[in-house]
Structure 1
Amino acid sequence: MGRPSPCSQTGGHQRRPCRRDFGKAGERRDKTYGRERDVMLIHSLTLENVKSYRRETVEFSPGTNAIIGSNGSGKTTILEAIGFALFNHRPGKLTAFVREGRQLASVTLEFLSDYDGRSYQILRCCGSKNLYRVDDPELSIRVCEGRSDFIQFLHQHLGIDSETDPSELFRNAVGVPQGTFTTSFLLGPSARKAVFDPLLKVAEYRKAFEKLREPLSLLRQRQVDQAIEISRLEGELTRLPDAKAEAKSLRSHIDSADSELRAAAKEFTAADSDRQEMEARRERLQELGRMVEGQQQSVDEQRRTLAAARQWFTESKEAVAVTVANYAGHEAYRAALRAQRAMNEQIAQRRRLEEEQAGIRTLLARAETQADALEGALVEIEGAEKTAAGLEDAATEQEKLDTEFRDAQRLADRLIDAYDRVQREETSVEKAQKRLDHLRVEVARSQKLEASRKQLQTEVETLQHTITLQESICSQLQPEMETIKQQGTQLKNLDADAVCPICEQPLSAEHRLQLLERLRQSWKEMNVRALNAAETIRQAEAKREQARSDLMKHELTLHSLPRQHAIETAEKELADQNAQYAEARDEAEALRHIPQRVEQLQQALKKLGDPRRQRDAALQLARGRERVERALQEQRAQAELQSKALAELDGHMTKFAGLDAETTHISSQLAKFQAADDLYRRNQAAAEALPQRLQEVSDAEKALVRAQKRFEDGQEQLAASRRDFDDERFQEVVAQVEELRSRRVQLETELDQWRERLDRAKEEIAQLQGLERSLSTARTRHDRLTEQEELLRSLRTVLREAGPFVTKALVQQISYSANQLFGQIMEDYTRTLQWKEEYGIVLEADGRERTFSQLSGGEQMSAALAVRLALLQEMSSIGVAFFDEPTTNLDETRRGALARQIVGVHGFEQLFIISHDDSFEQATEKLIRVEKRNGTSEIHYE
C-alpha cells in the first residue's frame, strides 16, 4: 500500500494567520527581526501522481541545480510543479497535470523564505480536490489555507506588491516556458507592450488617474449638495425675526393676563368664603329638619310598639285560663305515654324470643336431615370397599399394558420423525449435488475468463506504452517545430546586409534561400512524424478504450463468478448431507415394527376395559368412611342440643301471656286525653310569658314619653335655625361665586394658550438657531470640498504626466542591470545592451547598433537572459531563476559557452537549468538526472 496523498489530510497543524505587511516592488529587506537578511532557497519538491511521476522527491542545493534527462523524460514537469506551487502558475489544463488513471495530483514544496528567515512547506492539490495550504514544519502549525490567504502569502514572501500577478511574473521572468525565452523580444512593439506593461505596472498610473475620476465627481456632487443645503437653510432662516417678534408679543400678553388672573382669584376667594359660611348654615338647617323628621318617626314607632305589647299581654292572660282548665287531662295523657313505653319494651322482648325459637327449630330440622343422609352414605361406602377389593388384579394388569403402550407410542412418533427426516435429507442431497454441478461449470467459465482478462491487461499496458512513447515524440517535436518557425521568421525579417545567425558570416540571398529550404524541409519531416504519431496515438487510444471496456466487463463478471475453493466447500457439504441421509434411513428401519406393536397393545387394553378407573372410584368413595362417621356423630349431638334449647325458650314465653290485653287498655287512654294535652301544650308558652309581657307594656309606655319629649325639643331648634338662614341671599352668593369661577377658568385657559404659543415660538427659534449653526457648518464644509476638489484635480494632473517619466526611469534602470548581466554572461564588456522604452533589445558594438532580430542565436539567448534576469531582480526579491532548455538549436561549442555564462551569473542564490544535453554537468553544484521507465519518471543524483 502506498503512502496516502497529503491532500487527503486536513489535520496535523494549527492555523497561523498570514502577515498583511507586503513590501513594495523592488524593495529588498536587509534585516529581519534584528538579523542579517536571509536568502530565498528552494529545498525540495515532492510530486505525487503528477503527469508521469508516481511519487518522487527532488532535493535541491544552493547554487546551480542542473536537471538533465532525455526529451519527454519529465524534466519540464519539475519546473511546472514549482511554478504551480510557488507562483500559482497553471501548467495548462489541470486535468492533464494529473497522472493518467488517478483522480488527484499533489505537489509539496519546501523553501526558505527571505522575508522572515523561516522554512515553509507549500501543499497544492488538483484534480478531484483543489487545495491551497502552507505549513510551518518546525513549529508544526498551519500558516494559511485557502486561495485568498495563499495568494497573499506568496506576495509577502516573494517580495512583490499586491498588484503583481505571481503567475505572470513566473511566465515572463522567473520560469519562461521552453522554446519561448527569446520569443517575446521578437514580437512587434504593441505585442511586447502587452507582455511587459503588466510587469512594470505601466498602466498603474493611468489606472490611478482613472480611479480618481469617480472621487472627483463625488466631490463635485457633494459641493452641489452642500450648495443646495445652504440655500435651503437660508430660506428657512428668513422666519427667525418674525418668530422672535411673536415671542416678545406673547410674553406681554402673558404678563397682563397673569395680573388680571391674580385679581380675579382674590375676589373669588372672598366670595367663596361667604358661600361656604352660608352653606354651613343651610346644611345645619337641613340636618335639624332630618333630625325632627326622625324623631317624629321614633314617636310613631314607640306608639306601635306599645300597642303590640298590650296585645301580647292580653293573649298571655287568655292562655293562663286555658292551661288551668286542661291541666288534669294533660297529666293523664303523660302517664298513659309512660305506660305505653314500658309496654313496648316487653313486646320487643317477646318478639326476640319468638325469632330465636324459629331459628332453633330450623337448625334442629337441618341436623336431623343431614344425619339421615350420612347414614345412607355409610351403606354406600361398605359396598364400594367390597367392589375395590374385587377389581385389584385387573387394575394392576391395565397399568402394565398402559406403560407398554406409552413407550410404543413414543417410538411410533420417532418413526414418523425419522421418515420426515429421510425425505428432507434426500432433498438436501439432491440440492447439494445440483449446486456442485453448477459450481463446476461456473469455475470452468471463471478460469477461461481469467486467462482472457490477463491477455486484455497485457494489451492495455502495451497500448499505454505505445501512447506514452508517441506522446513523448509529439512533445519533443512541437518545440523543435516552433523553433524552426521562429528561425524561419527571423531569416525572412533579416536585412540584406545581416550576418548569418549560425555562422556569423554575411548572409547572401542564395544562402538565405538554402537555409529557409532546409528549415522548411526539416519542419515538413517533423510535421509528418508528428501527424503519424498523432494518428498512432488516436488508434492506440481507441483500441485501449475498447480493451479497457472489455477488461472491465471481464472483471465484473469474474467478481460475480465462484472460485475453486467453492467446489471444495460444496463437495464437503454433499458428503455431510449423504452421511445424514444414511443415518436417517437406519433409524427409520430400526423402528419399522413399532406400529404393529401399538395395535396389539390397543386391542388388549380395549378387551380389558377400564378396571383401574372403577377401582379408583370405589377406593375414593371408601376413603370417606371415617369422615362420614364423624359427621354423623356431630349431627346427632347438634340435634339433641337444639331440642334442649327449644324447651328452655318455651318456658320463658309464659310470662308474656296478658301482654296484648294491657296494650289495648293503654291505647284507649291515650285517645281519651289527647285533645286536653294538645290545648295545654299550645298555650303553655304564652301563659308562662305573662310577667315578661306585663313588663314590656310598662317599658313601652315610658319610651313613648321620652320620644315625645325629644320631638318637641327638635321642633323648637328647627324653628330657631329657619329664622337665622336667608335662602335668597345664599342663591345670590352662589351665583356670584360661579361667575367668578368661570372668569378665572377663562383667564387660565387663555394664559395656557398664550404660554403654549410661546413654547412653540421658543422651540421654533431654537430650531432656527440650530439651522444657523448648520448653515455655518455647511458653508465651512463647502469651502473645504472646494479645496479638496482643487487638490484632487492637481493630483490627477500629476499622475497623468508622471506615468511616462516613471516608466522611462524604470526601464533605464532595468536596462542598466541587464547590460551588466550581459557583460558577465558574454565575458565581454565592450558591447552595450540597451532595453528600449518600447521593450525592444538593441546591442551596440563599435558604434554600430543591431536590433534583436539581427543578433546571432547565442547573442539573442544571452541578451534575452540578461533582460529577464534584470527584470526579475528589479521587480521582486526573488533570488531564484529557471532556464528550460536554454541551449536549444545551438551547436556544441555555443552550448558549452552559454552554459558557462549562465552558471557565472551573479546576484542569484539558486539557479535551475533544465536541459537534455550534458553541457551543464561539469559546472553545477548538484546534478539531478530524470529517467523514464515503463512510462514512469524517476529521479537520480550524480
Structure 2
Amino acid sequence: MFDTPVQTSLPKDGDLPQNGYNMYIKRVKLENFKRHVSFEGTFFPGTNAICGPNGAGKTSLVEAIGFALFNHRSTKVSELLRKGARRATIIVEFEAAADGRDYIVERRITQRGGGHYAVHDLETGSLMAQGAGESQSVLQDLMQLDPNIELPQLFETTLGVPQGTLTSAFRQTPKDRKKTFYPLLRVEEYQSAYDKMREFLNQLKNRLSELKGKLESRLEQLEQLPEKEQQEQILRKETEALEVEHTQLEARKPQLVEQLDKLNEQQEQLRKQTQKLDKNQERLQRFRSEQRTAMRDFEEAKTSHKIVEAVKQDAKQHEEARQADKTLRQQQRDAKTVQEEISKLTLQAQSLAQSLETQTKEVQKLEALEAENTSLAAQVETQTKLEAQLEQLRKETLQWQEAKTRLKREESALEELKKEQSVRQTKVEELRKLQPKVEEKEQIGTKGKEISDRIEQIEKQDKERLAIAQRLEDFDKEFTAFEASLKADEEKHKTLLDTHQPIAKDLPQLETKLNTCQRELGALEAQIEREEQFSKDVSGGVCPFFKQPCLNLPEGQNLEQHLGNTLQKAQETRTQRKKDWDTLEKQIQHAKTSRNILQTDGEKLKIQLEEKHKLLEQKKQQRAEIVKTLEAFPDNKKELEELGKQRHQLREDYKVLHQLTKEAEKLPVEEGLYQRLQQDLTKRQQHVEQLQQQISSLSNAEAQIPPIEASLKELGNPREKVRFNQSQLKALPTLQKTLTQTQTKQTSCQSRLDTLAEKRKDFETLDAKLQEVSEQLQRTEEAYQKHLQHKHAAEKLPASERRLKEIETSLRQTEALVEELKESIKPLQEAFQPEQMKTLQDEFEALKQRSTQLNVLLPEKKERLSTLSKDIERLQLLRTEVAEQQGQCNRLKEVIDCCELTRKVYNEAGPRVTRALIGSISQEANRIFRHLMDQNRLHLRWSEDFELFVEEEGIERSFANLSGGEQMSAALAIRLAFVRELSSVRIAFFDEPTAHMDAERRHNLATQLMDINGFEQLFVISHDDTFESITDHVVWIDREK
C-alpha cells in the first residue's frame, strides 16, 4: 500500500552539502531476502513509516538497506536467504549527495556465501563499481563521506540502531559507555597518532644510533689513510724498476731467437736429409722382398694356365647343361602352378552357377511386388481423403466443446463486472463530495509552516545563545588554565634564575684562577725538568762546575740529597696544582652550562612570558566581547510557548483534514478504475456474442464422424501394404546389379579355364628333357671343378709378369738414390755446431724464466698498487661521506626534537577535541530534545563521561531517573545529533522507537518526530498504526505466505 507523499517540512539551508544536494533512498526491491519472497517499495524525502504486524519483515527491510548501502550485517550471509531459496537479491535506488543523480546498488547472495555487488549509474546505464571493496569506495564518494569512516560501523552505531538498543547504551557504566561512544567521536585517532609516532621516534633514534655507530667505524678506517698512501709510493717505485728490467729482457729476446733460428734451420736440413736416406734404405729392402714374392706368384700363375687350357671344352659343356637344367626346372614349377589354378577355377565356376540361380529367383519375386503396388495406388488415394475429412471433423468437435466452456466462464465474469461497476460508481460519487476539504488542509499547512519557521528562528537564536554560553564556559576554563600555566612559567623562570645566575656569575673569576694555575704548572714542569737534568750531572755530591763539594749546603747534607729533596717538593706541588686544575675545570664547565641554560632556556622563557602576558590581555578583551554578545540576546520564552500552543492546535485540525484529503486524493484513481470497468464490460459482451455464433456454426460436426470411420474400416489399410512393399523394393536395384556382376564373373572364369587347358599341353615332354640334361652334368662334373679351381690363378699370369718387371726397375732406381743421399749429407754434418746451439738455448731458457717471473710479479705489483689506489680513493670518498653523515646526524637530532614536540601536541589534543565534540553534540541534542518533548524549559546535557542529564527549573536528573518517554526522546536526540554533527548523510532509521509506551506517549513522540528539521529522510518502523496517520509516507508490509 503506497500513499501520495506530502512533505510538511524542508531541511534548513545550513544542512545542505556544499553542492546543494542531500542523499535520500527512492526505491528498494527484495527477492528471497529473509522473510520476503518478493517486495518492492518506493520512498520519499521526509518521514517514511514502515508499518505492519509482528513478523512481517519490517526490520528485514532496514537490514537489506544496511547490507546493500553500508555492507552491514549482524548474521551469516547464508542466514539472510529466505528458507529454501538458493539466491537472494537486493536493489536500492538512491539520489546521491555528490551530484544529485540517481544510482542503483545491486547485491546478490547465494547459499555458499558468494554473490554479486555492483553500483550502476541509472541515467547512463554504466557500471560504476563491482566487488565489495570498489563498491564501498564509490558509495563513500557518492555519499560524500570521509574515506576513513567505516560504513558498517556508521550504520550500526549511528544511522540504524538495532531494535531494542536505542536507550541501552545510556544505562551502561561509564567505562562501557566510553567503549560505545568514544569510537564514534573518532578522537582516538589522536592517541593512535601519539602511539604510532612513538614507534617512528624510536626508529629515528635507532637510525641516529646506527649512524653514530657507522660514523665511529668509518673514523677508525680513516686512520689507515696516511699509512696506505706511504705504501703506495714504495710499491710504485718497485713496480717501475721491474718494468725497466722487463723491457731490457724483451729487447734481448729477438737477438737470441734470430741466432737460434739459423742453427735450427741447419739442424732441420740435416735431419731431413738423414730421414730421407733412412726412408730410401727401408724402401730398398721392401723392393727386394717384393721381388721375391712376385717371382713366386708368376710361377704359380703359369702352372694354373696350362691346367685351364686342358679342361676348357668339358667345362663349357657342363656350364651349358647347368643352364638347360635351370630352364627345365622353372618350366616344371610353371606346370604345377597351372594345374593348381585350373582346380581353383573349376570350384569357383560351380559356386557362381549356384549364386546365379538364387539371385534370379529373388529379382523375379521383387518385380511381382512392384506390380502389386501399382494396382493399390487408387485405394491409397481414397484412404487419404477419408482420413483428412475425419481429422477436420474431430477438430471442429473439440472447438465446439471448448467454446461452450468459455461461454459459461465469460457469462459468469460479465455478471461480476456489472456488480463491481455499481460499487465503483457509488465510491466515485462519495469522493467527489470531499474535494472542498483539500483547500482547507492546504491553508492550515501554510499557516503551520509559518509558525514552524518562526519557532525554528527562535530555536536557532536559542541555539546560538547556548553556543555562546558554552563558548564562554569553555573560554573561562581555558582562561583559568592559561593563568595557571603563566604562573607556572613565571615560577619556573624565577627558579631558573635563582639556580644558575650565581653559578654563571663566578665564571670570569674561575677562568682567571685557571690561567694562574696553568702558568704555575708550566713553571713547575720546567723546574722539575731542570732538577732532573742537574741530578744526572751530579756525581758523588760534587758540583759539576767547580769539581768540589758545594759549600752552601747545610751541614751533614750533600748536593745529591739537597737536589732530591728539592725535586720531591716540586713534584708534590705539581700534583697539588693538577688537582686544583681538575677542580677548576669542573667548576668552569658547570658555570658554562649554567650560562648556556640562562642564554637559551632563560631567554626562551622570558620571551614566552612576555608573549603570554600579551595573550592574557587579549583573552580578557575576548571574554568581555563574548559577555556583551550573550547579553544582547532577547528573551523569547513567552512567544515560543504561545507559538507552540498554536502549532499544537493546527496539528490536531490537520490530522482530521489529512485523513479526509487522503481519501479525496483517491478520486482520480477511482474514476480511472470506473472507466476501465466500463470498457472491460463492453469487451466481454462482444466476446460472449462471438462465442455463441461459433457454437452454432460447429454443432453438426460430431454427427458426421461415424460414417467416415465405417468407410475406412471397410477399405482396410492399403497405404500400409504399399509402404511395406516399398521397403522390400529398396533392395531390387542392388540385387539386379549383383546378378549382372555374377554373370560377368562366370563368363571370365570359363574363359580363363580354356586358356589354361591349352597351356598345359606344352609341358607333356618336360620329364624326358630333364633326364637327358642330368646325364650330361654327371659326365662333365670333374673337368668343371678343375676349371673353377685354377681359373682365377691363370687369369693373373699377365699381371704377375708386369708386376715382376716393375719391381726390378724400382729396385735399381732406389739403389742409385741411396748412394746419392749419402754423398749430400757429409757437408751438412761438417757445417752444424751443436755446442753453440746448446749455449744459446740455455741463455734463452734463463731469459724466458726471468721474463715469466716478471710477468707474474708485475701484474701482482700492479694489482696491489691498484688495490691500494682504490683503498685510498675509497677512504677519500669515505672522508666525504663521514662529513655528510655528521650533517645527517645533526639533521636527525632536529627531526627527533620536532617529533617529540608533535607527539606532545597530539597527546594534549585528544581530550580537548573530545570536549568540543561532546559540547557541540550536546547543544544540537538539546535543541532536538526540546522539540521532541515540546517543552522549552527542559535542558538536555551530555557529560564528558557520556552520561545524560535533564535539567528542569534548576533541578538536574540523571538518565536513570527519567520517565520512559523522556529516556526514549533523549536517546533519539543524541542519535540524531550524532547523525547531524558527525555524518554528511541526513538519513536515520528508528526501529520501534515507541516500544513499551502507552497510546498517548506514542502519539506525542510520533508527532514531534514529524517536525524534526535538518534530516532529508527518516525511517520509522512500527507494528501499530501510530505513525500511519501522521507521517509523510507509509509503507505497509503484510506477512507473506
Taking structure 2 as the reference length, the TM-score comes to 0.45
TM-score between both structures, scaled by the size of structure 1: 0.49
